[in-house]
Chains A and B, each alone.
Chain A
Amino acid sequence: MRGLSEKHRQVLVLAYDEGLTQSQIAERIDAPVGTVKTRTFHALRAMREDLTRRGFDA
C-alpha cells in the first residue's frame, strides 16, 4: 500500500471501510464530488498497479 498516495488511500478507506458514498466522502473531506470520483478512479488504478507489482492477480 506504500504505492498509494495519502489522498488515494483516504478515499478508499472512506468508501470501503466506513461505507460512505462518493457524495458523503465529498462532504466529509470538503471537496467536489467530481474530484472524489476522479480520485477514487485513480486510487483503484494505483491499487491495481500496486497489486500487480507485488505479484497479486489484480
Chain B
Amino acid sequence: MPEPAHDHDRLVLYLLDELGAEERVSFEAHLDGCASCATEAESLGGVAGKLATMAPATVPPDLTAGVLAAVESVASADARLAAGGDLATVEWGREMNGTHRSLPEPGREPVVGPTAVRSEKRPRRSAWSGWPLRVGFAAAFAAMTAAIVIAVGSDGSGVTAPVEIQGTLSGDSSGEIVVSELGSGREVELTSSELPILPKGELYEIWFVGPGDAPADPNRISGGTFHPDEAGNTDVTLHAAVDPALYPLIEITAEPGSGDPAVEGDVIARLDGSDQLP
C-alpha cells in the first residue's frame, strides 16, 4: 500500500506542540501509517527537544567590559577627529570629568541572548522534552541567538526588501520560493527538501518565463543555477536582474551542465506568480 502524502506542515506544529487535542490524535494516526513522517518526527523531535530545553548562557563580565572599552575607544577617536584635537587630550578630559561610561557592577553578570532584550516569553513546551542539556550546545546556540536578535532588529521583522512573489512550487518536486525586489535586481530565496540530488555535473536552474515562451522562440531569463547539499536539502539565495512583471512564471529545470545557456532539461517545478503582481 502506498504511503500517504507527507504532512510537513502538521509535523512542524506537532513538534512545536501547537496542535489541538483532536488534531494531535489525527496526526499521530498519520504517523502510524507513514513511516517517513514517523522517522522524521522522531529525529527532528530530538532537535526540537534540545531547543526547548535551551537556557540562556552567561558570559564573563570582562567580555562586556572589553566590548564597551572598544566602543569607547572608537568614540574617543571620533571625538578627537571631530574636534581637531589629539587623542591624549580628549581621553584626559573625559577621565577628569568622570564622563566614562560606567560598567556593570561586579557580580551582576550580563545575560546574552534574546532574554536580555525581551523579558516576557511564553515557555515553549515540547512533546520531546527531557533531553539532557549539553552545555557546549547551549552556549553555541545562545551566541547564535544573540547574533540573530541583532540581525532581526528591534521590530523583529528582518525583512528589508519588498516581496513580489512568494509561494509553494508545484510539479515533480515542491519547495518554497520568495522573490524580493532589491535595488540591483531581484533576490530569489529557494528552500526545498524534495529536489533530487542530480548526477555529478548536472545542475538545477531557475528561470523567469515570460509570455509566449517556446523552444524555438524563448522568452525567459535565467535566475541562476544551484544544486542541493549532500543531505538533499536546498536552501539557496540567488540574484537575478529580472522584472517579474515581465516574466511572472518561475520554473526550475534540471540541466545537463553542458555549458549551453539555453534551457535543455525537464521542468521539475514551477510557480505562476502573475496573480501576485500589481
Q: Which residues of A are interface residues toward B (Cβ below 8 A)?
A: 1, 4-10, 12-22, 28-32, 34-35, 37-42, 44-49, 51, 56-58
Contacts and interface: CB of A to CB of B under 8 A. Distances in A.
Contacts of A44: 12, 15, 44, 47-48
A51 to B, nearest CB: 7
Nearest to B149: A13
A48 B152 contact: no
Given A13-B114, A44-B15, 15 more contacts: A7-B158, A9-B148, A13-B152, A22-B12, A30-B157, A34-B9, A41-B8, A44-B47, A45-B44, A45-B233, A47-B47, A47-B51, A48-B44, A58-B46, A58-B47
A37 B233 contact: no
Given A16-B54, A28-B156, A47-B47, A40 B12 contact: yes
Interface stretch (B67-75, B116-124, B202-210, B264-272): B116-124
B108 interface: no
Contact of A1 (B8, B113, B140): B140
B219 interface: no
A56 B51 contact: no
A17 B166 contact: no
